[in-house]
Amino acid sequence: MSSRRVVKIFPLLLVLFFLTVAQFAFAEGEGNITVTLPGVTAAETTNPGGWVSALYRFSLMAAGMLAFGMIVYAGLRYTFAAGNPSTQSDARDQILQALLGLLLLFGAFIVLTTINPNLTNLTLPGLGKIEGQKTTYLPGGGSDITDKEARDYLKDNGGITVNSPEPKTSLKGIRQFTLGEAVSIKKNSGCATEVTGGTEKDSHSTKNPQSHVNGYKIDINRSGCLDNHITTKFRSYGTREDDGAPLYLAPSGAIYAKESNHWDILVQ
């Protein structure tokens, strides 16, 4: 077989080699690769990243050995072709091409290991432990919500506190969308928020069906932060008829009444 045919067949053999390797890479199993390579420890080939890195180093070694073998083969051809200028010229070209290949391999290795050694060391980043935020879900039915469930919901979903325990401040029977509005104002404003009134009957009127007692209203504290957010972000909505409290309409449709020491929120 002539040297030219050897050079032409070599790329085909290389392709067949990588196709064989791919069968191991995609074989069904538990995800651990057990194929070993010469000069590579088993610990380096237990995952796809380590195996590809090991394959790269093995390929460099194999290519170097092939180039060295080609130099030896061409040198013998050149020696035994004394008096045959054509064969000697062909052998000389083979030696030069093999040397050029070695130079390219060595140059690529030096560049990769000098600029960024991690390019030849493939590893997958580890995933840290992710803890989700605790969320309390309310039962359906709206008015069936207990005082404890409502307090837990406000605490877990918005970090909202309640000023007093039941019965002074009660959230029993409050509607879920009313609690949702309190969580919304807390998250959108970023202000410290405290509930000061809920469904207790002693201090709230029961004339309007959409009242505190029926779960449609909730009171939150007034502060410079909340006052500024509500009065600048919400639309002015006139005044309340019975006491003249300024009203503000939230994007959600809730109506905020600015009372002396708290915000009275109506969620319709």
At 227-241, the pLDDT tens digits run 999 999 999 999 998
Tokens read off for 86: 């054509």
Q: Tell me whether residue 96 is in a domain.
A: yes
Residue 128 lies inside a defined structural domain of this protein: no
Which pTM does this prediction carry?
A: 0.49
Would 125 be classed as within a structural domain? no
The verdict on residue 100 lying in a domain is yes
Do 151 and 114 share a structural domain? no
Taking the chain, what is the end-to-end CA distance rounded to the nearest angstrom? 92
Distances (CA, A) of 50 to 8, 42, 74, 123, 232: 31, 10, 36, 7, 58
Residue 129 lies in a domain: no
Q: Rg of the chain over CA atoms, in angstroms? A: 39
Per-residue tokens: 56 = 């790269």
**Tokens linked to 148:** 């404890």
Is residue 112 domain-shared with residue 152, that is, in the same domain? no
| 113 plus 176 within the same structural domain | no
Q: Are residues 94 and 155 in the same domain?
A: no
Q: Are residue 15 and residue 55 in the same domain, yes or no?
A: yes
Strand order in the sheet with 235-239: 161-162, 194-197, 217-221, 262-266, 255-258, 246-249, 235-239
Number of separate domains in the chain: 2
Please choose, from the candidates 216, 225, 256, 252, the residue with its C-alpha nearest in 3D space to the C-alpha of residue 239.
Answer: 256
The residue among 85, 120, 155 that closes a domain is 120
Q: Do 93 and 153 belong together in one domain? A: no
Whether 111 and 184 share a structural domain: no
Residue 141 lies in a domain: no
251 part of a folded domain? yes
Enumerate residues 6+ apart whose C-beta is below 8 A from 150: 138, 171, 172, 174, 179, 198
Residues of the chain above pLDDT 90, percent = 36
28 pLDDT band, cuts 50/70/90, is: very low
- CB of 215 closer than 8 Å to CB of 144: no
Cα gap 266→250, rounded to integer Å: 10
Domain that holds residue 114: 3-120
Are 101 and 179 part of one and the same domain? no
- Output the pLDDT for position 129: 63
More confident position, 57 or 4: 57
- pLDDT winner (highest mean) among 116-130, 198-212, 219-233: 219-233
User: Pick the residue with more confidence: 135 or 203?
Assistant: 203
